[in-house]
C-alpha cells in the first residue's frame, strides 16, 4: 500500500509520522538488527543507511531473532533521484517454488533450520550494510549487559579483541503462518549468504544448516533468482507511506542515486 503526499503534512513529517503511529493499534517493536539506523523522533528511525550503490537483499525484518516485528511502517521524507525502490515478494510463494525445485534441500532446511553467525565491531561502521557495532546492537556499553540481552534473544557471544562474534540458532527457516494457514519462507538465508560481507564477515560462513553443514551455493543462487522473478518493486515519491506485513512478504532495497531518505518504524 502506497499513498500520496496528502496523507501527511510533508513540511513537518517526522512528528506527524510518530503521531500517525500513535493513532494506530500498531505497538512499537524493538529495533535489534544489523542495519545502521538513526533515531529521528519517538519510535521513528531512518531506514537502513547502508551505501546507496549497494542493494539490500531480500529479508524478513529480523527473521534471525526469535521476536520479530509483525508490521513495518515506512515513510518517504526525501524521494530518490533515481532507483531506490522497495521490492516485495510473497513468502508462501517463495516456499512453494523452492519446495518444487529443491525438495531435498527444503526437507533438510525444515529438519535442521539455520545458524546465523555475525561478527560485530567496536562501534558502528557506516561503510558496511551490516555495520551496527555491538554497543548499538545491544543498546549498552556494558559487555555483561550485552551478554544478558543476547541470551534473551537466544544468541551466544564470543568476545574478540575488536568486537564480538554472535551465533544465533539453529532457528527454523520455514514458519507456519497461523492467520493464513500456510507455510512461509521466513529466513535471511540469501541475504546473509550474499550480503553479510564486510571487513569482519565472510558471507559463506554467515549462514549454515542447523547441523553446521555448509549451504549449497547453487541453491542459494537459484533462490535469489526466484525472489527477483516473483517480486514487485514499489517506487518512492516524497510523502509516500508503505505498510508491510512482515509475515506475508520479504522486502529488499534497490540501489539508488542520492538523496533518498526513508523513515521506518517497526510494529508488533
Ligand atoms: Fe529491512
pLDDT at 43 over 80: no
User: How many whole angstroms from 255 Cα to the centroid of ligand 1?
Assistant: 14
- Candidates 75, 76, 69, 74; CA nearest to 27 is 69
Residue 135 grid coordinates: 554497543
CA distance 157 to 216: 26
Which pLDDT band holds residue 12 (cuts at 50, 70, 90)? Answer: very low
User: How many whole angstroms from 51 Cα to the centroid of ligand 1?
Assistant: 14
**Mean confidence (pLDDT) of the chain:** 87
Provide the pLDDT for residue 27: 67
Domains along the chain with CATH numbers: 2-89+231-267 (3.60.130.10), 91-228 (3.60.130.10)
Q: Give the residue, 19 or 68, on which the prediction is more confident.
A: 68
Per-residue model confidence as pLDDT tens digits over 54-66: 888 899 998 877 7
Beta bridge partners of 163: 121, 160
Provide the pLDDT for residue 262: 93
User: How many whole angstroms from 252 Cα to the centroid of ligand 1?
Assistant: 6
User: How many whole angstroms from 227 Cα to the centroid of ligand 1?
Assistant: 15
Provide the pLDDT for residue 6: 40
User: How many whole angstroms from 162 Cα to the centroid of ligand 1?
Assistant: 26
Which pLDDT band holds residue 98 (cuts at 50, 70, 90)? Answer: very high
User: How many whole angstroms from 104 Cα to the centroid of ligand 1?
Assistant: 29
Which pLDDT band holds residue 8 (cuts at 50, 70, 90)? Answer: very low
Q: Residues lining ligand 1 (ion), CB within 5 A?
A: 61
Provide the pLDDT for residue 25: 62
User: How many whole angstroms from 249 Cα to the centroid of ligand 1?
Assistant: 11
Provide the pLDDT for residue 4: 42
pLDDT at 133 over 70: yes
CA distance 203 to 206: 5
User: How many whole angstroms from 20 Cα to the centroid of ligand 1?
Assistant: 21
Beta bridge partners of 263: 46, 75
Provide the pLDDT for residue 204: 87
Q: Give the residue, 79 or 50, on which the prediction is more confident.
A: 79
User: How many whole angstroms from 107 Cα to the centroid of ligand 1?
Assistant: 27
Amino acid at each position: 500500500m502506497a499513498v500520496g503526499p496528502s496523507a501527511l503534512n510533508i513540511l513537518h513529517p517526522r512528528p506527524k509520522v510518530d503521531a500517525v503511529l500513535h493513532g494506530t493499534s500498531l505497538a512499537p517493536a524493538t529495533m535489534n538488527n544489523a542495519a545502521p539506523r538513526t533515531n529521528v523522533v519517538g519510535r521513528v528511525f531512518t531506514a537502513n543507511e547502508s551505501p546507496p550503490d549497494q542493494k539490500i537483499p531480500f529479508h524478513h525484518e529480523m527473521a534471525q531473532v526469535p521476536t520479530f516485528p509483525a508490521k513495518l511502517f515506512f515513510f518517504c521524507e526525501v524521494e530518490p533521484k533515481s532507483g531506490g525502490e522497495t521490492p516485495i515478494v510473497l513468502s508462501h510463494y517463495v516456499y512453494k517454488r523452492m519446495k518444487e525445485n529443491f525438495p531435498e534441500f527444503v526437507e533438510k532446511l525444515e529438519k535442521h533450520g539455520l545458524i546465523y553467525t555475525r561478527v560485530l565491531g567496536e562501534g558502528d561502521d557506516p561503510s558496511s550494510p551490516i555495520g551496527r557495532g555491538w554497543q548499538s546492537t545491544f543498546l549498552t556499553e556494558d559487555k555483561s549487559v550485552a551478554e544478558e540481552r543476547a541470551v534473551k534473544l537466544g544468541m551466544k557471544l564470543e568476545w574478540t579483541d575488536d568486537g564480538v562474534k554472535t551465533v544465533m540458532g539453529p532457528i527454523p527457516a520455514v514458519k507456519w503462518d497461523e492467520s493464513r494457514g500456510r507455510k512461509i519462507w521466513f529466513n535471511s538465508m540469501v541475504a546473509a549468504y550474499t550480503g553479510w560481507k564486510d571487513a569482519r564477515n565472510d558471507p559463506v560462513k554467515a549462514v549454515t544448516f542447523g547441523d553446521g553443514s555448509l549451504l549449497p551455493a547453487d541453491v542459494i543462487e537459484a533462490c535469489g533468482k526466484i525472489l527477483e522473478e516473483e517480486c514487485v518493486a514499489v517506487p518512492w515519491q516524497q510523502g509516500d507511506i508503505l505498510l508491510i506485513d512482515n509475515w506475508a512478504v520479504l522486502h529488499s532495497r534497490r540501489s539508488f542515486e542520492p538523496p533518498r531518505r526513508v523513515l521506518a518504524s517497526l510494529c508488533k
